[in-house]
Every structure is written in C-alpha cells, then in structure tokens.
Amino acid sequence: MSVPAQKPVTQQAVNTRPVQLWVAQILAILRIELKKNLMKKRNIWIYLLAFGPVVVIALHVLLGSSDPGGLSEDTNILADIFQLFYLRLAIFFGCMILFTWLYRGEVVEKSLHYYFLAPVRREILIIGKFLAGAITATFIFGLAFFCCFGLMYAHYGRAGMAFVFSGPGLGQLFAYLGVTALACLGYGSVFLALSLIIKNPILPGAAVLLWETFHAVLPSLLQKFSVMFYLKQLCPVSLLPDDGLSLFIVITEPVSPWLAVPGLLCLCAAILIFACFRIRRTEISYLAD
Amino acid sequence: MISPNNQIVFENVSKFYGEILGVNRVNLSLPPGVTSLVGPNGSGKTTLMNLMTGLVQPTQGKVSVLGLTPDQPEELFRYIGYCAQFDSFPKGVTGYEFINSFLRLRGLSSQDANRLTWEAIERVGMTEAARRKVAGYSKGMRQRMRLAQALAHHPTVLVLDEPLNGLDPMARSESIALFEALGKQGMHVIVSSHVLHEVDKISDQVVLMSFGYVVAEGQISGVRSEVKEHPMQILVRCSRPSMLASRLFAQDHVVEAKLHTDGAGLLVRTHDADSFYKLLSQIVQDKEDDFKLEAVAPADDDVNSVYQYLIGSGGGTV
Ligand SMILES: Nc1ncnc2c1ncn2[C@@H]1O[C@H](COP(=O)(O)OP(=O)(O)OP(=O)(O)O)[C@@H](O)[C@H]1O
Ligand SMILES: [Mg+2]
C-alpha cells in the first residue's frame, strides 16, 4: 500500500452551487438505483404483474374476431383492465414491492450506511430514491399498458388505426399513461413512507388496500387522502356500473382534472415531506447485529 | 495551541439503545494523529465511531468533528471516511463500481471519480481484482476494498472499525504502515481494536473502553504507567501453592501472595501481569518442580483487570 501525499478532494471538483450539487447527486442516485430496480430478481413479480394482461390480450386478439363492431366493446374491456386490474392491483402491488424495498432493502442488505456517510442530505437521498422508483414503475407499467393498447387496436387494421390516430384513441392512450405515472407517484410515496416507519409492509399494505378500495364510502374530506380518489376521475373511459363492482366505481363527488392532478401531487409531496423528517432521525442499527 | 476546530470533540456524550447502554458520559477531545480505541467486545467502540459519523445520534451530549456536526452532512462528510465494522456491500457490484458510484454521489465528475477510484484501489493493492464482483472476494479483499472506499475521497478524518480483521500478516503490516503515514501527514486516523499491542506502536493516543465507559485516555506511555500503578489481583489454582508463593516473593513486581483458604490456590497481587505470566509459564515448563497448574484468572472484575487485559499481551490466561 503506497502513500501518496493526501490532498483533500474537498476543495477540488465539487460543484459549489447547492442546486447544481443536488442535481448531480440525484443523478448519481438515479444511476445506482435504476440499475438495481430494473435488474433485481425479486422485481420479476412486477414484470409478471405488468405483462400478464399483455399475454391475455394477445390470446384474445388471436382467438377473437376482428369485426369492427367489436371495437367499442374492446375499448370498454381495455378500460376495465386498466381500472380494475392495473390501477387497483398491479400498480398497487408493484409499487408496494418496489418502493418498500428502496429503503428496507438497504437495511436488510446492510448498505444504508454508505449512503448516510456520503455528503448528501438525507432529503436528497429520499427524493433520489423516490424518483428512481417512480421512473422504474412508470416505465414498466406504462410499457405494459402501451403493449395492451397497441395489441388491442392493431388487430382491427384500418379501423383500429383510424380510432387511434383520427379518433379518441391517442388521447385516451396519453390519459392512461398519465394516470399510470400519477398512480406510481401516489402509491410510491405512500409505500416509501410506510417502509420508513414499519418493518413488514404486509399488514399496513393490506390496510392501505382496503382504504383505497373502499374510500368511496368515506366522508368526502377523508376521500381526499386516497390516491384512487384522484386517479379514477382522470381515467379517460369510465366504467359502466353494470356488474357487482358498482361500489368500487361510484363517484361521489366529481373533481375536475385541474384539481385532481395538483391534489394528488400535493398529497404525494406531503407524504414525502413526512418521509424526509423521518429519515433525518433514522439511525443505523444493523451494525450491531 | 491547536485550534478546537482541528479536533474531534465529545461533550458529555451518552448513548442508550432503549435500555441498553452504548456509551456513557464520554468527554473526549481528539487531536490529529493516530488514535486507538481499545476495549473488549461490547465496550462501546463501534458506538463511539457511529456517534462521530452521525450514524447514531447521542441520547445526551454533543459530538462535533472539526467543528462540524452531522446536521451538516454536505460539509461534514467531505472530511470523513468511515470503514465500518460491518462486512457488507450493495448487492451485485464490482469493486470498481462500489467505489466509483459513491464518489459520483459526492458530485464529482466522471473523470475525477474514475481517477480517484483507481488511485484508491491501487493504494490497497486491489488493482487486479477491481473488475470482479465483490461477492466473489475473500474476507481480506473485502476489507481492503472497504478501506479503499473510505480513503478514496481523501478524507481528513479516517475512522476505521477493526480494520485489521481478516487481513494476512503482510496486509496487516502494510495497513499499519499506511495508518501511521496518514497520521504523520496530519490526518485524524481513529482505529479500533480489541487488544492494544496490535496498534500501540503507531498510536499517538489511546482511548481505553470498558462497559461503555472511557476508562483511560491519553498518550500511550501515560496510560501504561497509569496502569502499572494499580496492582492487579490474579487467582492461581495449582498443586503446590506454597512453592509458587516462595518463588514469587523473589520478584519485585509482586506486592502480595496469599494462600487461598482451601489451600489449593494462591491469590497474587502484582504490578506487572506480563512478567508474572512469563514466570508462571517457566515454572510450569520446569519439570523438576512437579507443579500442576489448573487455572489462572483475574480475581477482580474492576477497572484494573480490564487495564491488564487490554495492556497485557497474555489477555488474562496463560
Ligand atoms: N443497535 C443496537 N441496539 C441495541 N444495543 C446495541 C446496538 N448497538 C450496540 N448496542 C450495545 O451497545 C454496547 C456497545 O456496543 P458496541 O458495538 O459499541 O461495542 P464494540 O466495542 O464495538 O464491540 P465489538 O468489539 O464486539 O465490536 C453493547 O452492549 C451492545 O450490545
Ligand atoms: Mg464494534
């Protein structure tokens, strides 16, 4: 081991403007975390959840007719798949797996102290990790729904093309992708914050699921503390309450998208601010194991 | 006079983990140079290091490093490098990626990070293995890589929790030489160890810990002589205690030798446990004496025996 003269790096090469430094640090966190999120073996469940419907739709397309009359029916099927499967189950559980592990994973693998020992504000760490999770989840679920959408309309040929490019199709696609991103932000912040308080996310996760599912029966003030409250108002195609699921899709107090989007983002920001307070007080305790 | 900003200061610091005592009422002011924290398992060395680096917060009191507190992470952690006791890495990284990714996190450009990464890797002699996954490293290689990570950004305060663990004799002496050289350059090098003789030669000051308390602190010679002033009690169980007693009285470090009430043991008070242990092993090896040794143990559990445990090379047994 050789001993070259020590010259502190502290003055050299480190960006001095705080905002610049924070951006550089968030990018560095994203580089580390995105790779982990996309490659992690335990995240195979997220891929399965996301791409399951793609397989189902592929079968539906192969076996079903391509009669243009079925197009509007398929639009409703797609709306069902999005709201009942993606929003309520896949994105919910996907975010639960992904976001709780952002923090818990570091504790279980005993690597959190490397982050805590870097000259990075812990708030920046939370924001970086949250963004990494949000980008990963939005990418996976967005891509999966994009595939569903593409498959569903592609097999109608010209009629499908016309629906997408000259009709309401493209607008609906963007709306779906937007809602997907918002869902990932909303659920992501909830689960990230939960993982900072509680070790095992299963029980609180179940509580959140109940809350999100039955929020419609709550008083209107409490409804606003639910992610689903905002999301369902933003979906481009509303579900027909013709099945036993009417409880889940009843809209008690409609809110315009101009309120729903900022409302959700505020909820999300409030949860993240809580998480930041929490992480500042966090101690490394696994070192004593 | 050294300015206080050059020091690591503990002001009446206590840390409790719930009911469990980590460290209690620690007052320390560590100047630059090599400082050794020495104490048996659970004496609070890691706790003290974690307090210094903000990984845990004091229940009471204040800690500051070069005048900075862990509330200012962007400043403080530019100066600190900490190689923790825990042998863990982020999953799936290579040695190079491990060091490089945390340098990038400091806001360094990719070239600067790359240069510093290789510099640190070379410094611990891990160039060949740097591109391999950490999961395939041996214990000593992982230890060196973690040391490289703690060194990579040229900290002025280097905190190393049992850094010699798992190293072969060669790497051990290289590491010790490295710490000494860094201390001579005016850095703070804080090293922990179970036994003093491992690190005493390079230490500018030592902090002896026991059960969460700092029991002695200062320059090594001072601590040694402080210890010598306190005689230590040792209980020897053996076949011919009176013969042993007569041999011991010839030694000037032995203050007292008392036959145990049951006649099968000797209670010895000595200033120099090391010499006593040496003499004892001579007697045991000497076949003519027909002397059978059954057990040797420090007879009192007080601070003195801890001193002796820490300072003596025998560690309380022959
Ligand atoms: N996270 C924790 N939770 C509860 N108790 C803890 C925790 N960390 C340390 N302790 C307790 O604090 C005391 C001091 O522990 P510490 O790890 O500082 O000792 P140490 O001197 O580093 O020991 P070792 O030589 O084994 O590393 C011990 O009694 C230990 O059980
Ligand atoms: Mg320890």
Question: pLDDT for B150-171, tens place per residue?
Answer: 999 999 999 999 998 888 888 8
Q: Which of B28-37, B141-150, B221-230, B288-297 has the lowest mean pLDDT?
A: B221-230
- Integer Rg of chain A from CA: 22
Give the integer Cα–Cα distance in Å for B249 and A83: 92
> What local confidence, expressed as pLDDT, does residue A2 receive?
47
Question: Does B306 reside within a domain?
Answer: no
> What local confidence, expressed as pLDDT, does residue B314 receive?
39
pLDDT for B250-298, tens place per residue? 888 888 888 887 878 888 888 777 788 888 888 888 777 778 888 777 6
CB distance B55–A283 less than 8 Å? yes
In this structure, the answer to whether residues B85 and B138 fall within a common structural domain is yes
Please give the tally of structural domains in chain B.
2
> What local confidence, expressed as pLDDT, does residue A3 receive?
46
Q: Which residues contact B138 (CB under 8 A, 6 or more apart)?
A: none
In this structure, the answer to whether residues B20 and B150 fall within a common structural domain is yes
Residues of A in contact with B89 (CB under 8 A): 111
Question: Does B310 reside within a domain?
Answer: no
> What local confidence, expressed as pLDDT, does residue A10 receive?
44
CB of B188 within 8 A of CB of B5? no
| pLDDT under 50: residue ranges of chain A | 2-13, 15, 244, 246-247, 250, 288-289
CB distance B55–A287 less than 8 Å? yes
Q: Which of B197, B225, B253 is the last residue of a domain?
A: B225
Asked whether residue B227 carries a pLDDT value surpassing 80, the answer given is no
In this structure, the answer to whether residues B250 and B185 fall within a common structural domain is no
In this structure, the answer to whether residues B68 and B158 fall within a common structural domain is yes
In this structure, the answer to whether residues B168 and B47 fall within a common structural domain is yes
In this structure, the answer to whether residues B67 and B128 fall within a common structural domain is yes
DSSP string, A121-152: -HHHHHHHHHHHHHHHHHHHHHHHHHHHHHHH
Domain boundaries, given as residue ranges, for chain A:
20-288
The predicted model gives B182-202 an average pLDDT of: 86
In this structure, the answer to whether residues B26 and B134 fall within a common structural domain is yes
Question: Does B98 reside within a domain?
Answer: yes
> What local confidence, expressed as pLDDT, does residue B291 receive?
81
Pocket test for ligand 1, best of B10, B21, B24, B43 (most atoms within 8 A of CB): B43
How sure is the predictor about B307, in pLDDT bands with cuts at 50, 70 and 90?
A: low
Ligand (nearest to CA of B38): 1
Residues of B in contact with A23 (CB under 8 A): none
In this structure, the answer to whether residues B26 and B173 fall within a common structural domain is yes
pLDDT for B16-25, tens place per residue? 998 899 999 9
Residue corresponding to tokens 């242990």: B277
Structure tokens that stand for A282 in this block:
């966090």
DSSP string, B92-135: T-BHHHHHHHHHHTTT--HHHHHHHHHHHHHHTT-TTTTTSBGG
B85 CB near ligand 1 (under 6 Å): yes
B88 closest CB neighbour out of A20, A110, A115: A110
Give the integer Cα–Cα distance in Å for B223 and A171: 78
pLDDT: which is higher, A38 or B223: A38
The predicted model gives B127-143 an average pLDDT of: 93
Residue B3 Cα to ligand 2 midpoint, Å, equals 30
Residues of A in contact with B116 (CB under 8 A): 9
Give the integer Cα–Cα distance in Å for B84 and A31: 24
Structural domain including B240 reads 231-299
How sure is the predictor about B299, in pLDDT bands with cuts at 50, 70 and 90?
A: low
CA distances from B301 to A30, A94, A210, A244, B310 (A): 53, 56, 58, 74, 13
B249 CB near ligand 1 (under 6 Å): no
Pick the residue whose CA is nearest to atom 12 on ligand 1: B22
> What local confidence, expressed as pLDDT, does residue A177 receive?
94
Residue B19 Cα to ligand 1 midpoint, Å, equals 12
Note the ipTM here: 0.79
Question: Does B315 reside within a domain?
Answer: no
pLDDT for A48-104, tens place per residue? 999 999 999 888 888 876 666 678 888 888 888 998 899 888 999 999 999 999 999
Question: Does B76 reside within a domain?
Answer: yes
Question: Does B91 reside within a domain?
Answer: yes
In this structure, the answer to whether residues B175 and B252 fall within a common structural domain is no
Pairing of strands B265-270, B232-238: antiparallel
The CATH number of whichever domain residue B259 belongs to comes to: 3.30.70.100
In this structure, the answer to whether residues B93 and B235 fall within a common structural domain is no
> What local confidence, expressed as pLDDT, does residue B290 receive?
79
**Ligand 1 atom closest to Cα of A286?**
1
The CATH number of whichever domain residue B65 belongs to comes to: 3.40.50.300
User: Structure pTM?
Assistant: 0.81
Task: Count how many residues are written for chain B.
Answer: 318
CB of A103 within 8 A of CB of A196? yes
The predicted model gives B33-56 an average pLDDT of: 92
> What local confidence, expressed as pLDDT, does residue A181 receive?
94
Q: Which of B225, B257, B278 is the last residue of a domain?
A: B225
A285 CB near ligand 1 (under 6 Å): yes
In this structure, the answer to whether residues B82 and B181 fall within a common structural domain is yes
CB distance A116–B149 less than 8 Å? no
In this structure, the answer to whether residues B196 and B244 fall within a common structural domain is no
Question: Does B1 reside within a domain?
Answer: no
> What local confidence, expressed as pLDDT, does residue A289 receive?
45
Residues of B in contact with A8 (CB under 8 A): 78-79, 154-156
Separation in Å, CA of A7 to nearest CA in chain B: 6
